[in-house]
Amino acid sequence: MASTMCSSSSSCFAWKNYSQKHSLNHRIQNEFIHSSSLNPPETSVVDDGAAKLSSCLLKRRSVVLQSGLVPLVSSLTALGFPEQGLAVVKQGPLAGRVPGLSEPDEQGWRTYRRPDDKSGGHGVGWSPIIPYLFKVYGDWDEVPVSIADLGGTEIDLRFASPKQGRLFVVVAPVRRFADELGDNTTIEEIGTPEKVINAFGPEVIGENVEGKVLSMEVAEHSGRKYYQFELEPPHVLITATAAGNRLYLFCVTGSGLQWKRHYKDLKQISESFRIV
């Protein structure tokens, strides 16, 4: 029988070698298929309604001031405040991410300071971003900003807490507001609190801010002025200031239930924002 299958020892060896290789390849393919079925590649599901909302808001561009102030090109509504009911997914750590969050103090508050060596894609020729800091309470953590973020390079930072709400920092060039603004602009040079909130408020909430500004205050810390606003609906706390050649917008929001339960903490978070 052996002589019938193999005419020579060399051909027998060749057939055996081919059979082993074929069997090995077959096992590898089966293992790959099995592994793929158990561990499917990660995918992201884009809510069609959210996509349409973002597309609509990004097309809305209008000049809301007669003084020459121009709204931010980026729609802060589509970028920072997703429609109620849409999931805010925390991404995993990104390569090169530099932490800046301190350990909790005795009251449970932690301070975030933007690291000096943290990169920021804010255009060729921009000076390094002047660091800022703020305080958060409890389980707040950084949500890395993706390069595919609708906010483009102006969204510098995102934070979120499953219990309390969400926040993000926009760092925008001051020349979005007026060409004559220089490299050491103050928030007062950009405009009064009324002019500033009228300029970017509609981009935050997606509609005119008339009748929605519950409070508007001016605070001063270390010689720098900060405009502080509270808007509703939706529930939004905004702190605005300027440093160097950039406008900083610190926006804090939450759902109705989060606002009701944690308003005091959210207010304290918003008022803690400082340029270092």
List pLDDT tens digits, range 46-95.
344 444 433 443 344 334 444 444 445 444 554 454 444 434 444 444 43
Could you tell me the pTM of the whole model?
Answer: 0.68
Write down the pLDDT at residue 149: 65
Q: Whole-angstrom Cα distance, residue 77 to residue 84? A: 11
Q: Whole-angstrom Cα distance, residue 221 to residue 224? A: 5
DSSP states along 79-111: HHSPPTT---PPPPPPTT----BPPP-TTSEEE
- Give the mean pLDDT of the chain: 73
Judge contact between 170 and 155, C-beta under 8 A.
Answer: yes
**Residue 258: DSSP 8-state:** H
SS3 for 225?
strand
Residue that wins the pLDDT comparison between 267 and 176? 267
List pLDDT tens digits, range 8-40.
444 444 444 555 555 545 554 554 444 444 444
Tell me which residue has tokens 């999931």.
87
Residue 154 has pLDDT above 90, yes or no: no
What token pair was written down for 56?
């609509």
Q: Whole-angstrom Cα distance, residue 96 to residue 93? A: 9
Write down the pLDDT at residue 174: 86
